[in-house]
Structure 1
Amino acid sequence: MKNPQTEKSIPNFHLHYIDHSITTYHHKPKPLMAFFFPSFLFLIFFLLQQPLFSTATLHGSSLFKSQLITQLDSSSKNNNATPTTYFEVTKSIDLPKTNPCSYLVLQQDFGYTYGKPPFLANYTPPFNCPSQKFSKIVLEWKATCKGRQFDRIFGVWLSGVEIFRSCTAEPRTNGIVWTVKKDITRYYSLLMMKNQILAVYMGNLVDSTYTGIYHVELFIHFYPAEEMYSDYKRNLDYSYEAFDSRADLILPISRNMPLNDGLWFEVENSTDVQSKEFEIPQNAYRAVLEIYVSFHENDEFWYGNPPNDYIRANNLTDTSGNGAFREVVVSVDDVVVGAVWPFTVIYTGGVNPLLWRPISGIGSFDLPSYDIEITPFLGKILDGNTHKISFSVTNALNVWYIDANLHLWLDEKSIKTEGKLLKYSSLPLSFSLMTNFTGIDGSFVTNASRSITLTGWVKSSYGNITTKSALGLSYSNYMVEGNGGNLQNVDQIIYFNETVDVVMPSSSVQSLESFKKFLLLLHSDNVDKGDESYASISNVTLGFDDKRVKTSKNGSSASSTENMQKAQGHILVKGQIVVSGVGSTQQVYKYKDNSFCYSRNISSSNYTIHYDKVSDSCPRSTLSHLPFSFGKFRSVPARRVSLASHLGDVKDGV
């Protein structure tokens, strides 16, 4: 993800593709990536089977800072060609059978916007809509671009509350188009307020080389509730629903305008702490902190960063370090209340941009946010005074963009609630690092774990309700540097588990359990081909597994999402010119809950879709096996790929 300020001052760790009828590209070197192997012994066996290479050092410290150059072939331009459609694979939004009231909030061209204020638009909900009760509200981002441009991070804020963060697609000569739809119903109370300011920031740079201007339309669609839903909602109005209701107030934990940048905080190093003061209404009875996170520049590929001892020993002055572990630590009044170990989003220019055309990397078009239940802590902040929320990133390098939204539920029948923190447990981070290297070749094993538990009660018109929030995190990263620094393998997995239990005055319990698994498997290898040329091969496996079980007075429900991408690509570089290349991606997405199933199995190579199988039917056996347990990701050994590469196990489902 490029920051225009540093495009000429720091190493470029992207591959930027220039469309020359799939013949010539512009290559922005990246830290070498890696691929997963199921066991340590298998990985060692794989390394021993590598062919003997030339003694020429292709990578070492030099490839981290080298920059390949290409020239745009004007003869390849075809202004009449159909733009290519890019997309991220996900399930469609469950919409009511009503006609939406649609609102074009912003129509804007993002040319040279870096270092300039966000674009602003007046916002008021559509009060001319026949119904003012909406069961679903959807943000729709439509954009086109043509020419040459890096991927750019951008965000959308409403009255300082971030509602959408995304990465742009990288354009090609004939143009591209992409659309993202996001369910933003959780921001209902905010979206129904009049006379607000919507801000959109995208730091783009346009010059004679990078010509791409992003043409954007931003819509919000309001779907009136069906009558059946309205009756159901009325029955919930005066009952306590721990997990089925929306917040009454959302406070922004972001930077204040005016700004010549996004509203996110910038965390630049491991000692940098960014904070925002806030004050909450004294009748709050529940609080959830929603965190937005993205990583860029020297930490865009933090999961492939070697330890500092290795960097110093090999005098790698331009290599990003601090090891391969990062965590976002969230504090309230300097007390740690939660942590985020983020999913490793790979942006559209990452590793090899041909991998993400037209299928974008998981999370790249709609970056995830992360919820932290801080209701047990309410007793500490219901005093009417000003308090502070802070963010830091363990081992951070420049730069992380972080902000948050504080979702609050208010007791309309009381002026003041009261609460008390009963129990707090936050053990220090458990961390270990084992290194084994000789010269520039070696291996590194990093493990970490953390647990945070909060228990507290809040007394409101609903009675005295006790909430316990328990967060458990574990992390493992195994990295190998080989072949004189020309080969790198990374095998990383994160477990991100959270349980919230709510004990009612009747002693009944409502609970929400969330079990997430984030998988990243990367392999990169450079081979000397002689005649001042080399081949670069990269394989990527990226996926997550998300299981949720909810129990309330209305019964229990469960959902499961499994999302897995496998991508393979290679390029041939002569001198500083990429003369050929290919990228292939296969993805299987599966979702199921108590009443709905969705799956999509898709494959592409060099802009061409080879197959696309979609199903929204549930096998009879599916619903009888809830709740779910974790399945195992299957790994595929790294291998060289061809234009017709297909992974059979992916095609058949993961």
Structure 2
Amino acid sequence: MASPAAAASGHRRRLLLLLIALLLLPFAAAAAPHRHRVPSRHLASLNASAPPTTFFEVDRPIRPPLGSAGPCSALLLSHSFGETYGRPPVTAAYAPPECLAAARARGASLALAVLEWAADCRGRQFDRIFGVWLSGAELLRSCTAEPRATGIVWSVSRDVTRYAALLNEPGEVAVYLGNLVDKTYTGVYHVNLTLHLYFHPAPPPLTQHADLIVPISRSLPLNDGQWFAVQNATDVQSKSLSIPSNTYRAVLEVSVSFHSSDEFWYTNPPNEYIQANNLSSVSGNGAFREVIVKVDDHIVGAVWPFTVIYTGGINPLLWRPITGIGSFNLPTYDIDITPFLGKLLDGKEHNFGFAVTNALDVWYIDANLHLWLDHKSKKTVGSLISYDAPALALNLDYGFSGLDGKFVTGASRHVSATGSVKSSYGEVTTTFYQRFSYVNSNVYRSNGTVQVVNQTIDAKSGVFVKDTSAVLLSEEVHKVFPLYVYTGTSDQVGDEYSLISLVKLGINEKSVSGGKLGFSYRSLRNAQSARGTMKVKKNLVVSGLGQTHQVYKYMGTDGCYFRDVSSKNYTIISDNSGDSCSKGSPSSGVKFSSNKNQPARKRLLKL
């Protein structure tokens, strides 16, 4: 994890390697077993009796549907995560809350299920990735906040209604949060995990959630999370399983996170460049990554992941108390594999596999297979009508003079499949497609001390379902992930230097669906702009400044929500929010400039 640049002479190479040594600090969230960092000098001067700071990720509040009753709440697990790295996940038996059975007995149905993670921590600690599983199915992946001497608190709420089939059955909750505690890094994460349930007074008119959820993850016992670890570009992690013979719909929900050498994959130079300049310690494989999902020998879909920046990423002072988009509630990605049921309904086991193009160590990946079953039939019959998955188109242009230069990476991919399934509901044809495009500009300036990354991921997908007489579902989703990162070092004398960083990232998403379930529309513009400075000596943050501005605007057929919030050095400067859909509501977004200069990635622990 370093700021790479060309070495044109012995003097320049020594300068570059010195820069790499200073910046190549292991800030991947809980990815490496050992991290050697020196704490900030002024940490002890903080008032330990001050109230804790509340950290948060800006997101739309989860609200119960109109007319629903609740909540009925159940504490699933309570634990303090201290010396937990490389040890088994913390587990607790799960029994469906009594209110679930009571609701079914009176003819009611589940309207909303919310999983709430509430935690606090005091002292000093790195950011740690963690996961929550129920009976092997991942329900939440998140990153911890980095604490301070006065303490921090935060909570994460995730809508888990789609896992109703799991919530209705006994099972086991597993939580893995790999933490290390020593004389320097003293933070212990105290956690409560709670399930909140809301109910409709009557059964829903149509079944919207899967009848069965099959985890595609590693099984306990483990001394790690239940995710698979993909360690390089040739590593394929997989699991074989068979599906019920009466399945008529199947959707893969994929969970992805990237760490260690690939935590900042979008800043990495190509291997050819590293080899030509003998920079063996620099992370490479270029600045493009994709997760490939295969069923047997077929690529059924891909994930081009949103560039989540964890709470210690690039400059940890940026994410206090407003954390990076997706850092507390990492997104999942759906791939509809219904067109392939014709190949899966043979009663045999089939291999579900995951690989990462150009990967470096390490990517954590698993999936939940959501299955809809025909309860009026013992067997459904399917056939694959058409399938198209051309090879990835990937290109790279670059030019350098000495330590300064530019890489431009472009990529595109298309996957589509159409298949039919005959069940008691009749013969239904499903088409699923994905179209991706990617461009990344990676610039080095000022004798290699400045790196600028400007990247856009554009992802389109659609599902079309029809029977012999009508369109049952037509859904299209368009997502754009803009990213701009500037990092630069200056005033370097020996082991002391200054770091300047600027980050702009966001999610622009629109989706439209129609069919027998009705029409729905969603639009989200979520933009974040953060900048900061740090003075570093002997790998120690001795002073610094961080400030963040975020604008979140959601509009849809299910309501509206906006929030405009700014922070500076742990303090909220302004905060405006509301749920009005009127044009006069605050809606100005953070614009993403096309600046051609912006610095690299590096992670320093915290104040």
Output the TM-score relative to the length of structure 1.
0.84
1:113 to 56, 66, 84: 84
What is the match of residue 603 of structure 1? 566
Q: Does 1:207 align with 2:182?
A: yes
What is the match of residue 152 of structure 1? 128
What is the match of residue 602 of structure 2? none
1:610 Cα deviation from its structure 2 partner: 0.7
Q: How is 1:479-558 mapped onto 2 (pairs within 5 angstroms)?
A: 479-528=442-491, 533-558=496-521
Task: Tell which deviates more after alignment, 282-291 or 548-557.
Answer: 548-557
1:596 Cα deviation from its structure 2 partner: 1.0
Deviation string for 1:475-497 (max 9, x for gaps)? 10010112222100001100111
Residues 75 and 324 of structure 1, relative CA distance in 2, 3 Å threshold: closer
The one-letter amino acid of 1:420's match is S
> What is the alpha-carbon root mean square deviation over aligned residues?
2.3
Task: Tell which deviates more after alignment, 376-385 or 438-447.
Answer: 438-447
Q: Is the 8 A contact 1:599 1:616 kept in 2?
A: yes
Residues 70 and 620 of structure 1, relative CA distance in 2, 3 Å threshold: closer
Deviation string for 1:158-208 (max 9, x for gaps)? 1100010000000100111001111000101111112x1110001111111
1:595 Cα deviation from its structure 2 partner: 4.5
CA distance in 1, matches of 2:412, 2:123: 45
Q: Does 1:453 align with 2:422?
A: no
CA distance in 1, matches of 2:91, 2:447: 51
What is the match of residue 75 of structure 2? 104
The one-letter amino acid of 2:21's match is S
The one-letter amino acid of 1:215's match is H
The one-letter amino acid of 1:615's match is G
Q: Is the 8 A contact 1:60 1:440 kept in 2?
A: no
Q: Does 1:334 align with 2:297?
A: yes
Q: Does 1:614 align with 2:577?
A: yes
Q: Is the 8 A contact 1:58 1:528 kept in 2?
A: no
CA distance in 2, matches of 1:386, 1:575: 55
1:122 Cα deviation from its structure 2 partner: 0.5
Residues 436 and 203 of structure 1, relative CA distance in 2, 3 Å threshold: same
1:261 to 224, 227, 230: 224
1:578 Cα deviation from its structure 2 partner: 2.8
What is the match of residue 4 of structure 1? none
The one-letter amino acid of 2:226's match is L
Matched position secondary structure for 1:555: coil
Deviation string for 1:189-230 (max 9, x for gaps)? 111112x111000111111111111000000011122x3xx2
What is the match of residue 206 of structure 2? 236
CA distance in 2, matches of 1:544, 1:567: 15
1:399 Cα deviation from its structure 2 partner: 0.3
Q: How is 1:7-18 mapped onto 2 (pairs within 5 angstroms)?
A: none
Matched position secondary structure for 1:298: helix
Quick one: percent identity of the two aligned structures?
Answer: 54
The one-letter amino acid of 2:490's match is V
Residues 568 and 337 of structure 1, relative CA distance in 2, 3 Å threshold: same
1:559 Cα deviation from its structure 2 partner: 0.6
CA distance in 2, matches of 1:592, 1:148: 39
Q: How is 1:312-331 mapped onto 2 (pairs within 5 angstroms)?
A: 312-331=275-294
The one-letter amino acid of 1:122's match is A
What is the match of residue 49 of structure 2? 80
Q: Is the 8 A contact 1:60 1:484 kept in 2?
A: no
Q: Is the 8 A contact 1:56 1:528 kept in 2?
A: no
The one-letter amino acid of 2:184's match is T
CA distance in 2, matches of 1:462, 1:308: 53
What is the match of residue 103 of structure 2? 131
CA distance in 2, matches of 1:531, 1:377: 60
Q: Is the 8 A contact 1:250 1:408 kept in 2?
A: yes
Q: Is the 8 A contact 1:156 1:162 kept in 2?
A: yes
Unmatched runs of 5 consecutive residues or more in structure 2: 6-13, 26-35, 599-607
Residues 75 and 309 of structure 1, relative CA distance in 2, 3 Å threshold: closer
1:264 Cα deviation from its structure 2 partner: 0.4
1:442 Cα deviation from its structure 2 partner: 1.2
Q: Is the 8 A contact 1:441 1:481 kept in 2?
A: yes
Q: How is 1:343-492 mapped onto 2 (pairs within 5 angstroms)?
A: 343-492=306-455
Residues 335 and 632 of structure 1, relative CA distance in 2, 3 Å threshold: farther
CA distance in 2, matches of 1:484, 1:639: 13
CA distance in 2, matches of 1:146, 1:621: 42
1:57 Cα deviation from its structure 2 partner: 6.0
1:72 Cα deviation from its structure 2 partner: 5.2
The one-letter amino acid of 2:487's match is S
Task: Tell which deviates more after alignment, 455-464 or 97-106.
Answer: 97-106
1:73 Cα deviation from its structure 2 partner: 5.6
The one-letter amino acid of 1:120's match is T
CA distance in 2, matches of 1:604, 1:449: 37
What is the match of residue 89 of structure 1? 58
1:337 Cα deviation from its structure 2 partner: 0.5
1:638 Cα deviation from its structure 2 partner: 8.8
What is the match of residue 21 of structure 2? 62
Unmatched runs of 5 consecutive residues or more in structure 1: 1-12, 14-29, 34-54, 238-244, 623-630, 641-654
Task: Tell which deviates more after alignment, 523-532 or 611-620.
Answer: 523-532
Output the TM-score relative to the length of structure 2.
0.90
2:199 to 213, 216, 224: 224
Matched position secondary structure for 2:324: coil
Q: Is the 8 A contact 2:129 2:143 kept in 1?
A: yes
Matched position secondary structure for 1:306: coil
Residues 632 and 476 of structure 1, relative CA distance in 2, 3 Å threshold: farther
1:639 Cα deviation from its structure 2 partner: 10
1:605 Cα deviation from its structure 2 partner: 0.5
Residues 632 and 499 of structure 1, relative CA distance in 2, 3 Å threshold: farther
Matched position secondary structure for 2:22: helix
1:509 Cα deviation from its structure 2 partner: 4.7
What is the match of residue 593 of structure 2? 635
Matched position secondary structure for 1:380: helix
